Amino acid sequence: MELLAIAITVVAGTAMGWINNLAGGAGVFGLLAFEYAWGMPLSQANPSTRLAAVAIGVFAWLGFRRAGRAAPAGAWGQALIALPGALLGAELARGLPDLVFRIYLAAVLALLLWQQLGPARAGAAAPRSRWLRWGGCFLIGLHMGYVQVGTGLVATLVLAGLHRDLLVVNAAKSVVVIVTSLTSVGSFVAHGAIAWLPAGCLAAGAALGSYLASHWSVKKGADAVRRVVVVVAVLTLLEQLRQIALAFG
């Protein structure tokens, strides 16, 4: 039975790594594998997805570099601004009820869809104040620490205002994910909140999927990435709404 759970988790991790590299929101695959294949409660399944997030960030960064697409200037600075948010988010993940988790994630997904499906704005990104840029990066870290599922979508929402090309956004996102996921992992490890065998299986699959997706996204271009963003956001939103309805039912 454990071998079957391991196999399911590695497959889920591969899908999670592939889709999260391109868009985001596929962390729900990891949650489902942990909850249904391993019988883990959400309070343990949620922290255990962070190891896979580290793998996704690192192997996405390596894949983009190998494909000749480096992260833009300033990405590491944006990641450091997100770091305190990741620490705060990890604290919230240990203290808030599951229903708050579901409602918050559904709201983020709806906002991402509005941003992606709204009318296209020609030209370069509109300038933003320093405080707004810092606040957006802090939000990425907060989301990683609290939910992790959909961090790529939140990062896309924030970073698309700074870089109009979604390929550039994805390269910058890999750097932010590395820093914020490592931060949240450290916090959860300190509190003994991670189930290491399932988390390691998910991370192994996520590393492979993320690395392969980096090449695919560079070859296919920004339009293909945008389509993946929209499809994943819709499916993940529907799953969260189903969970919320069950909670109230």
Residue whose C-alpha is closest to residue 180's, from 145, 213, 211 = 145
The answer to whether the beta carbons of residues 167 and 220 sit under 8 Å apart is no
Amino acid sitting at position 238? L
Contact 243, 157 (CB under 8 A): no
Task: Report pLDDT for 123.
Answer: 42
DSSP string, 198-249: HHHHHHHHHHHHHHHHHHHHHHH-HHHHHHHHHHHHHHHHHHHHHHHHHHH-
Instruction: Give me the DSSP letters along 3-34.
Output: HHHHHHHHHHHHHHHHHHHHTS-THHHHHHII
Q: Which two tokens stand for residue 182?
A: 């490592």
pLDDT in tens, 120-139: 544 444 445 666 778 889 99
Which pLDDT value is given to residue 124?
Answer: 44
φ/ψ (deg, to 5) at 173:
-60, -35
For 183-204, what is the mean pLDDT? 96
Domain count, the chain: 1
Structure tokens at 247: 């909670």
Residue 227 has pLDDT above 80, yes or no: no
Give the residue with greater pLDDT, 212 vs 40: 40
Maximum Cα interatomic distance, the chain, rounded to a whole number of Å: 55
CA angle 165, 168, 170 (to 5 degrees): 110
Residue 113 clears pLDDT 90, i.e. is over it: no
> Which domain range does residue 98 map to?
2-248
CA distances from 214 to 14, 35, 78, 102, 225 (A): 13, 28, 21, 29, 11
DSSP 32: H
Prediction pTM value: 0.82
Q: Can you read off the two tokens belonging to residue 216? A: 């695919």
Report pLDDT digits (tens) over 50-95.
999 999 889 888 888 877 777 887 888 999 999 999 999 999 999 9
What's the mean pLDDT in 105-125? 69
Confidence (pLDDT) at 180:
95
